A and B are shown apart, each in its own frame.
Chain A
Amino acid sequence: MSRRHQNFRNYRQEQRLTQNRVIASAIFVLIMMAVLLARLFYLQVVQHEIYQTKADDNRVMLITEPPPRGLIYDRNGLVLADNRPIHSLTVIPERVEDIKTLRETLSATIDITDSEWDDFNNRLSEYRRPYQSITLKSQLTDEEWAKISVDLYRLHGVQVEAQLTRYYPFGEAFAHAVGYVGRITANDLQKVDRLVYQGALFIGKTGIEDFYEDTLFGQPGLSKVEVNARGRIMSELERQNPTPGKDLHLHLDARLQQYAHDLLGDYKGAVVAIDPKTGGVLALVSKPSFDPNMFVQGISYGNYSVLRESNSLPLFNRAVRGGYPPASTIKPFMALAGLEYGFSSWTERYFASGFYQINPGGRRYRDWKRTGHGWVDLERSVIESVDTYYYQLAHKMGITPIHNFLSRFGFGESRLLDMYGSSSGLLPSSEWKRAKYNESWYPGDSVNVGIGQGFMVATPIQMASATAIIANRGEYHYPRLVDKVGDEPIEFDDKVGQLHKITLKNQGHWERMVVAMRKVITDDKGTARRLQGTEYSIAGKTGTGQVFSLREDEEYDAEALEKRLHDHALFMGFAPAEAPKIAVFSIFENGGSSGKPADLAKLLFDAYLYDDFPTRYDYLKGSNHER
């Protein structure tokens, strides 16, 4: 159609039309360019600060550098808890394109176990700071390190980090005394300042490591770095160095600790040695034990359940939590109670037959010696450990004076100053029994308590501490593990840290009691006469704790009983008796007779007093060993 009308076309009009449209387009272009400029103005001027902040958030990263943890030394400067450099393979999940692909790529290079991946995934789902690395495999071998280093450039988000890990060079003998650190869990983070623990790997879980966490941890360093989009650090903008944690110096003597640990042999049990002058714990052994190093990098579930479910309870710290009947080792305290309240005297004599009855014809409380001891005084009752003497004494006194007096020695109370979770044992009273069993206190209950059985329960640390009080003739410090923080003496709350004193109505009783306990060894009938023949003087008291209640007329027959039903064997003692330097309490669970713990104590005295440990312990001597 248009072709036919070609001749009539108005070219000028068409030209004007298209030119107008070009002009309209030019206006359109100008308007749209103005829109772009307005948009850029909005972003670059109006919202500039928002985006400036975003850009800085992108490129500036705060990295906390965990401080090196304070070391733990024994009294001779031997390192019991050390820091060791390791190289670990860590991953920043935010930088990884795809974890699955990464897993495939990595497994071609080095071995990463399924459980390591499980741990990694678990930690991935836990709370963490964005861009914080997660350890995938710790403690790379040199070979693994070399292999992975070659591939690092193409593994975004993967790095090899040099870290410090905790190391306990002497393993299980010290596990219960020093404790251990472990990986920080979500639970732990609720108790601490997350900011401070950013980037930290470990936190104290038990023992000294736990109690002194704040001191050992130190102050983290802060470094402000510029990173690129792949998380690579391009430059450091600002830096504040970490303040290392403070070192701790323990009262503990590593050789004494190891020696005591070894002397317990295959027995379950505990040994606590205390310096009576300071309350410092020289040895704190609980057996069986475990290798604390297992917990540092995270213990495998399998290993953990073995430890947890073992009948011998290796994770249980018997020395501070184990509740044992103190048995005959309570007798010196019971005797002092009788003296204090006028229920007995050094001169009064008592005829000890083979048993004691509250009422004629009533229940017979048997003496360990069927034939009885004949006429005995207070001193002899200690020397020969006369049960009937204490049956009658406890019966006469009743529970209230017993409770009041024994509590002054720390029974029924947790006095260990610097470890969490120590048990307070059980020092019974009639109120306690009423509350617990809704029953009144029977005289027979007192009779049992008289020989440290029945309701009475004490921990080895309580027994050792009480022993030290007698050793020091009434003056004492609460037991503590740490001596110095860095170079400064440890400071505890004034009331508990200071010197305490038990003042008897007649202070002479202390010395008399020491003499009696001395005769436990020196007397021909002394229950610990096997310890005779030392150049120095030992004072002590044996004990045999019943695990298995014998009926009234039954004879204890070790042969016939299963080992787990054998009596616990106990010994408390100190040396030299005149001016004690060490007090020891030891218990062999199901150890039978008290010979084993007594022998153990003597060997510890020998070694400690003369600094004459078997040469096999020379490696535990420490660097600033003197004397």
Chain B
Amino acid sequence: MKDSLYKRVIAFTNARLWQLVHVDVLLVSALMILVTGGLFILYSASGQNIDMVERQIFRLTLGLGVCLALAQLQPKYLRRASPLLFVFLALLLIGVLLFGVGAKGAQRWLALPGGLRFQPSEFMKIVMPMMIAWYFSDRQLPPSFKQILVVIALIFIPVLMIAKQPDLGTSLIVAVSGLFVLFLAGLGWRYIIGAAALAPIGGYVLWQFMHGYQRQRVLTFLNPESDPLGSGWNIIQSKTAIGSGGIDGKGWLEGTQAQLDFLPESHTDFIIAVLAEEFGLLGCAALLLAYFLVIARGLFIAANAEDNYARLLAGSLTLTFFVYMFVNIGMVSGILPVVGVPLPLVSYGGTSIITIMATFGILMSIQTHKRAR
């Protein structure tokens, strides 16, 4: 007589109401778990600064608003707007290079009237996969060699412009978001294997052309102890924080590395080290599980999307989200070089929260606008 709990949950998530407001309950739930956990870590990482947590909640709420709004939009409108948006953003990127403002030697923003600032490269993270997905949307898959070359050009023109700002982290994310579409579109394995084989040779050639200080950065990554007080400091301290956390951590608000300020950027790029120190390996595993839930739902939506455009876009956006996470944790734990990539939805601040939430809006749009079968 009584339905099992499982059946009731399924029934709840499939309710007509959610379909009407274009909300994917599983994705939103996974995001909520991730975000809520992130707020607790942020409270500790910010030195128990409740104001900071409130501002983060505000941003997340804003992001959720953007997410829900985008979810209402039918994917076909997104598809049609893709090339326009791409060209528009590319022009803005040229504008940034010419008239951009910024700080610390990087110019990333366009000044808007009223003292506002606008960072075009941030939106390129979404528009790039839209563009490439649009390119493939009415072409037969897998792509031909010529198409591959076109797509590579489409990807690397804006990427190089962003890299020149310079903003290595963002250009990297934009590049992979485009390349993922190419991969999902069925890029031949021989190309992939070939590129992988060529990478070390390319690396060697690149090394020959590098300036001394650039080589130094690479060396510091390979051996942070060579410069313990300079650029190696961050990574040494973050590894110390993570390693000293052990299996079950030192306890919330009890991490000495984080609370005594040994860990730099503890509330932004290095926030995972705070989690690792205070909650240990178990806490890290829980966080990775939360990420995995989000990513798994994203890939499920991609796999079940209605058309090529939706599949390619949903898949690429989800994988880009994964890359965010992977690059951040990889760099903080010392297996990747330090590039400024925040931990998505957990690190404090940045416009990245809005754009990331926007990608989930697009995913929900793709999932909830399918014609009933």
Measuring CB to CB, which residues of chain A are less than 8 angstroms from any residue of chain B?
A: 2-3, 5-6, 9, 14-15, 17-19, 21-23, 25-26, 29, 32-33, 35-37, 39-41, 43-45, 47-48, 50-52, 54-56, 58-59, 226-230, 234
Contacts and interface: CB of A to CB of B under 8 A. Distances in A.
Interface residues on B, range: 35 or more
B95 interface: no
List 3 A-B pairs, minimum CB-CB distance, nearest first.
A51-B243, A55-B244, A229-B261
Interface in B353-372: none
Interface in B185-202: 185-186
26 contacts: A14-B140, A17-B141, A18-B184, A18-B312, A25-B180, A29-B292, A29-B319, A32-B326, A33-B292, A35-B335, A37-B284, A39-B330, A43-B334, A47-B243, A48-B243, A48-B246, A51-B243, A52-B246, A58-B237, A58-B256, A58-B262, A59-B260, A59-B262, A226-B260, A229-B261, A229-B262
Contact of B311 (A18, A35, A43): A18
Q: Is the interface of A mostly helix, strand, loop or mixed?
A: helix
A44 B247 contact: yes
Contact of A52 (B139, B243, B319, B326): B243
Contact of A44 (B246, B292, B315): B246
Contacts of A23: 303
Interface string B240-255: 1111111100000000
Contacts of B257: 55, 58-59
A228 B260 contact: yes
Q: Determine the main DSSP class of B at the interface with A.
A: helix
Interface stretch (B69-77, B118-126, B294-302): B294-302
Contacts of A35: 335
Contacts of A226: 256, 260
B260 A227 contact: yes
B1 to A, nearest CB: 38
Which of B183, B243, B330: most chain A Cβ within 10 A? B243
B240 A55 contact: yes
B240 A36 contact: no
A2 B302 CA distance: 24
B245 A44 contact: yes
Interface string B319-330: 100100010011
Contacts of A230: 261
A29 B322 contact: yes
B141 A52 contact: no
B288 interface: yes
B281 interface: yes
A382 B211 CA distance: 94
Contact of A51 (B185, B240, B299, B330): B240
B142 interface: yes
B326 A25 contact: no
Contact of A14 (B256, B276, B308): B308
A19 B284 contact: no
Contacts of B333: 36, 39-40, 43
B280 A43 contact: no
Contacts of A17: 141-142, 186
A40 B260 contact: no
Contact of A22 (B138, B291, B302, B326): B302
Interface in B327-358: 329-330, 333-335
A140 B333 CA distance: 47
A33 B294 CA distance: 13
